[in-house]
Every structure is written in C-alpha cells, then in structure tokens.
Amino acid sequence: MNTFSQKLTLPVIKEALQRIRPLVHKTPLQSCRTLSEIAGKNIYLKLENMQKTGSFKLRGAANTIYGLQGKDAERGIICASAGNHAQGVAWAAKARNIPAVVVMPEHAPAAKVKATEAYGAKVFLHGASYDDAYTYAMQLQQEENMKFVHAFDDDAVMAGQGTIALEIMAKLFDVDAIIAPVGGGGLLAGMAVAVKEHNPKIKIIGVQAAGAAAMVQSLAQGRIVGLPSVETIADGIAVKRPGNLTFQYIKQYVDDIVTVMDEEIQEGMLFMLERGKMTTEGAGAAGVAALLAQKIQVKAKNIAIVVSGGNVDPLLLSSIITVKHRQMTSA
C-alpha cells in the first residue's frame, strides 16, 4: 500500500524562493563553450559552487530554518551532514540567532568542519559515513529535544533546493534538459518537482557516484535499498540509503539517473579547474563528469548542469592534480 502523501509542489517551491531570496545568492548561469563543443549542444553551468557557504545546501537549510515558528525555533537545531548541509544549517541558524549542533563523519574534510564551526555551530565528529553521523545525531536530538533538520529527506529542504530549477528556467527559457548530482536525493527531487510541474517536456537527469549508487539500485528494484558501504571521492553524495520522500519524488518525476566512476569525477574536477578556472568538489563536478564521459544520452539542444558545490579538500585536489601530471608526463 502506497502511503506517500505529496506535499512538495511548484507553488511551495515558489514560496521557498520568496523566503530565501534575501538570504542567498542568485548564482550565475554561464554558457560553457568548451563543453558545448564537446557535446555538440549548448551547455550552461549553474554555479552553486559560488553560493554562500560554497554549496547549494544553504537554500534548503535557509528555507527550513526561516520557516520555523514558535517552540521549534526556540529549542535549537541539530543536523547530520557530510559537510555542506552542515555549513548551510550553521549559517542560517546564526543568521536567525538560533543555536545549532552538527554531527559530521570522523573523516569529513577539515575545511568543511572548520567552516561549520566558524559559522557558530557546535560540531561533533562521529562514525565513518554520513549514515553513522545521522544515527548519532538522532540520538542527540532525543536527548537534547532539539529540532532536527534533515540533509535531504524533508519537504522544506527539498523546496529550498528546488529553487535552483526556478532560477535556471527563468533565465534559460528554452532549456531542454537539466542535470544534477544525486546522493540522498534532496537536490534532484526538489528540482524535478519544480521542472516537471512547470514544463513536463524538460528532461531532468541525475548523476550518482558509482561507488555510492544507492538511488540507482533502489529505482532498479522498485524499493529503497541500503548499501553496506560507500566508497567515492564525492563525499557530498556518499550516502548509503536514499530518503523515503526523495525516492518517491524521484521515482515519479526524474527521467534518468546515470553513474560516474571516481576517475571520471576527477576528470570533471580537473576540467572545471583548468578550463573553468574554478574549484569544484567531487559532487559538484559529477554532472560535468557525466557529460565528458558521454553518459548523458538525451535529445536536447540546451542543457543546464548544476555545479552543486566547491568545498573541496585542498589536499585531495592537490593529489588529483599530481596523479594527472604523472600520467601526462609518462604518456
């Protein structure tokens, strides 16, 4: 029996845009000549790596936190995050003067931990993955009676992320397809609802890391599948289990999800660094990686790719550059 009750709609996402407009950047949507030449299509990049806190996650966090009323706002906020949601929650909570606690995996990038603390949140490091951090955060939430803000499986969070699609469609009237990374599914689900309820003809395609392809496997089996472990350099989408809500929305609205290997993600990151002159984290480069690897098979003239974040560990980026240099010099 399907008990799914849809609360996320285009009007809800439009309302979210009005709520967060004073708080977030309206990020650039830039054409990319090199990618366009490679793909034989008009490619545009939605640069959420230039968002405040360096990631799209601020949108969902801000919409949720600024939508809180009464006691929910007074008792403080807690969340679990691999890093970007943490920064978004910490920033929005500080802006609204609400105390925030964040649980992150023990191996979360140091840059993301420091940034979250700099925004005023109290950070706990726990477990080997986002899912481990989530379990511990839920335990703390019960003990401290704080308001839990989920990283992706929440209608208000998804509505905030869906505002990206509204900005793309407002600027690129004739967009034919939109590509976005997917981990737990909050970004892809929110954008898919916005896109399909605005114009069902626009294709919406997700890109998932092959080493953390929980959503792909779940869709293939028609039910939510949890992975025993995940392994990918794209920490922002390294999620073992999709959200209950996000799975339902994606199943209903998304046209396709493709996977990319870590080597392909690295190529995407290097492309953005060398050609785009900007840093992107693994998840942020996933869409570009899929295009470069010719994984995107869609009849479309105008394609927008969401570059979801730029909070990459400098040591990781340095190692990728070093390996690439060795490959080039030994070739």
Q: Which residues are catalytic?
A: 57, 308
Residue 21 exposed, middle or buried by CB count within 10 Å (0-12, 13-18, 19+): exposed
Angle, alpha carbons 56-240-208 (nearest 5°): 55
Distance (Å, rounded) from C-alpha 83 to C-alpha 129? 11
Kind and range of the H or E run holding 60: helix 57-65
In degrees and rounded to multiples of 5, residue 208 shows phi and psi of -125, 145
Residue 179 vs residues 182, 262, 284: alpha-carbon distances, Å? 10, 18, 11
Residue 156 exposed, middle or buried by CB count within 10 Å (0-12, 13-18, 19+): buried
Cα four-point dihedral sign 300, 302, 308, 312: positive
Residue 100 exposed, middle or buried by CB count within 10 Å (0-12, 13-18, 19+): buried
DSSP state letters, 86-117? HHHHHHHHHHTT--EEEEE-TT--HHHHHHHH
Residue 133 vs residues 86, 297, 329: alpha-carbon distances, Å? 12, 36, 41
Amino acid identity, position 70: G
